[in-house]
């Protein structure tokens, strides 16, 4: 069964969402991220995807205290990303309670450093983030476009040991207009053993069923929950919670 991974995006310690990565289109949903995380846990969800948007934009971790608070007060399996640049950063987020580090920009900018981390910590602890616009990767919290195509990039990462990837189609993120099914189908056709987590655009429960059919291992759901398009009750059917 596909795993539901709710998302908390952080700016200045608050739970927000952007549209297509645009910091000018910020909407604050809750000033208490722990409250949000506890609601997810109460619904039977096991995972949580935390993005430090301040960190992604500025190139250094900013919202570590929020991670510490959520990890220390829930049993959610947290992956944390945004601003992770050094091994010291990895230690700090693991010490703060993250079970996985979401790493994107470093894998593009300094691939050998990323592969060293992968070898050292293992693919269970390093979650590769690949943000895509028109088949090309974008980094630095989507602020920087690259000339690197998604499929060859993922094939190389898989060959070097990456086993789980969350892939966001920036053109769809935050718009509630459906996910990038064609892109995910292409990736899984080339890399059927990859644990692919879909991210961006999910707007209704049917989107999740479609992603499950394609073969995605998980799906990150954010704005659809906050905007009431998908209820936590609907998501309980994926958690085994009665």
pLDDT of residue 174: 55
Q: Which of 4-13, 23-32, 75-84, 190-199 has the lowest mean pLDDT?
A: 23-32
pLDDT-based confidence at 20, cuts 50/70/90? low
| Residue partners of 122: CB distance under 8 A and separation at least 6 | none
Q: What is the mean pLDDT of the chain?
A: 92
The predicted-structure confidence for 36-59, as pLDDT tens digits, reads as follows 999 999 999 999 999 999 998 888
> How many residues are present in the chain?
242
Active site residue 9: yes
The predicted-structure confidence for 85-141, as pLDDT tens digits, reads as follows 999 999 999 999 999 999 988 999 999 999 999 999 999 999 999 989 888 998 876
Place of tokens 């409250």: 35
35 close to 69: Cβ distance less than 8 angstroms:
no
Among the listed residues 106, 116, 65, the one whose alpha carbon sits nearest the alpha carbon of residue 82: 106
pLDDT of residue 173: 58
Return the number of other C-beta atoms located less than 10 Å from residue 179's C-beta: 27
pLDDT of residue 23: 74
Active site residue 169: no
Q: What is the mean pLDDT of residues 156-166?
A: 97
pLDDT of residue 56: 85
Which residues in the chain belong to E strands, given as ranges? 3-11, 14-19, 22-30, 47-52, 77-81, 100-103, 126-133, 136-139, 144-149, 164-169, 195-199, 218-221
The active-site residue out of 9, 54, 140, 173 is: 9
Tokens of 199: 């991210």
pLDDT-based confidence at 169, cuts 50/70/90? confident
> Which sequence spans correspond to the domains of the chain?
3-238
The active-site residue out of 54, 79, 131, 173 is: 131
Of residues 59 and 210, the one with the higher pLDDT is 210
Among the listed residues 83, 69, 82, 84, the one whose alpha carbon sits nearest the alpha carbon of residue 36: 69
pTM here is: 0.92
Hey, CA dihedral for 120, 166, 143, 90, is it positive or negative? negative
pLDDT surpassing 70 at residue 176? no
pLDDT of residue 180: 87
Q: What share of the chain is helix, strand, coil (3-state, %, to 5)?
A: 40, 30, 30
- CATH fold for domain 3-238: TIM Barrel (3.20.20)
Of residues 155 and 236, the one with the higher pLDDT is 155
């Amino acid at each position: 069964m596909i795993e539901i991974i709710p998302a908390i995006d952080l700016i200045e310690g608050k739970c927000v969402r952007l549209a297509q990565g645009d910091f000018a289109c910020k909407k604050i949903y809750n000033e208490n991220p722990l409250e949000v995380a506890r609601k997810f846990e109460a619904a039977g969800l096991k995972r949580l995807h935390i993005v430090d948007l301040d960190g992604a934009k500025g190139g250094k971790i900013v919202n570590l205290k929020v991670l510490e608070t959520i990890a220390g007060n829930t049993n959610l399996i947290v992956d944390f990303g945004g601003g992770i640049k050094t091994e010291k950063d990895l230690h700090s987020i693991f010490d703060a309670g993250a079970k996985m580090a979401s790493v994107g920009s470093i894998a593009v900018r300094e691939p050998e450093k990323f592969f060293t981390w992968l070898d050292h910590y293992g693919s269970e602890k390093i979650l590769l983030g690949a943000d895509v616009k028109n088949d090309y990767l974008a980094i630095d919290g989507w602020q920087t476009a690259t000339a690197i195509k998604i499929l060859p990039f993922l094939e190389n990462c898989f060959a070097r040991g990456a086993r789980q990837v969350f892939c966001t189609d920036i053109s769809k993120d935050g718009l509630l207009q459906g996910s990038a099914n064609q892109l995910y189908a292409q990736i899984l056709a080339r890399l059927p053993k990859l644990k692919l987590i879909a991210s961006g655009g999910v707007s209704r429960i049917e989107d999740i069923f479609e992603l499950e059919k394609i073969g995605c291992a998980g799906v990150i759901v954010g704005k659809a929950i906050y905007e009431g398009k998908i209820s936590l009750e609907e998501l309980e059917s994926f958690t085994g919670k009665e």
